[in-house]
Structure 1
């Protein structure tokens, strides 16, 4: 069984990229090359909400992720949210597994936490409606941050799939 870890962070810095890098550091994934995937959870994967990632391998490796990310120039507020649900064993094309396949949905914006949480759950529900699977109750995690004038702030919530892998 593979583990998908949900991590989050936020940071303020003098540039947009520096604030993003700081948010990645806050989540513990700053030393990886992130490869974004669309958002399907494989059958038999365990989703674990950890906040900060443990060591997932050597620096410079590729890490597969689903990412909600928002950046703003201050003054302003950003929020990012990730929601997920897995299907019951035997749903979809999965056979005798502990959990069936599932979905991640992500959203972000220059808005309040409640708004991104509402929107991400609406998106997840729409995605569930496209599949003939029986889903468990959804999980959700959001992050909100405020940027002062003259700074950039980034908020992220990331699902990191397994361990990192060599990029070359």
Structure 2
């Protein structure tokens, strides 16, 4: 059975990429090459929400993730960087849906609306739903980033 760790992080730095990297470090997912997948949770997976992801393998390995990401530049008028992942599970496969933006309530609502729409497309039974939101105040002193990642199992060597 695969464990999918869901973790959020925030970061601030002088560039957008550095702020993103700092947010990944906050979630302890900064040392992997992330491979993004769309949204389907395998039927045998379990979801574990964590403050920081555990060690999932060697640095430089590839790690499969569903990722929500929001980065705000210092010259933007936004007050926050916010992202969310919502998920639904049941006795069979499940779904993740992500949303990003600058309004925490709107981002969470968008992730849930998307999840509802995705569930309606499938004839699967969904018994449990949850959401993780990551938000950080944009202080204007640099780039600000928020991430939420669902990391599938352990990392694997790239080659």
Matches within 5 A, 1:18-97: 18-74=18-74, 76=78, 77-87=80-90, 89=91
Give me the TM-score of the superposition, normalised by structure 2.
0.95
Q: What is the aligned partner in structure 1 of residue 14 from structure 2?
A: 14
Runs ≥4 residues deviating over 3 A: none
Pick aligned residue for 1:156 from 140, 144, 147: 147
1:97 alignment counterpart: none
Query: Structure 1 residue 46: deviation in Å?
Result: 0.2
Task: Give the structure-1-normalised TM-score.
Answer: 0.90
Cα deviations by residue, 1:118-167 (Å, 9 ceiling, x for unpaired)? 11100000000000011012110001112222410000000000000000
What whole-Å deviation, never above 9, does each CA across 1:85-132 have from its counterpart, x for those lacking one? 112x2xxxxxxxxxx100000000122x11111111000000000000
Secondary structure of residue in 2 paired with 1:84: strand
Specify every segment of 5 or more residues in structure 1 that has no aligned partner in the other structure, as ranges: 90-99
Does the CA-based 8 Å contact 1:73-1:150 persist in structure 2?
A: no
SS at structure 1 position matched to 2:145: strand
Q: Rg larger in 1 or in 2? A: 1
- Aligned match of 1:107 in 99, 124, 135? 99
Mapping 1:136-155, distance limit 5 Å: 136-155=127-146
Report the 3-state secondary structure (helix = DSSP H, G, I; strand = E; otherwise coil) of the residue aligned with 2:128.
coil
Aligned residues: 156
What root-mean-square deviation, in Å, do the aligned CA atoms of Structure 1 and Structure 2 show?
A: 0.9
1: CA distance between counterparts of 2:140 and 2:35? 32
In structure 2, list runs of 5 or more residues that go unmatched: none
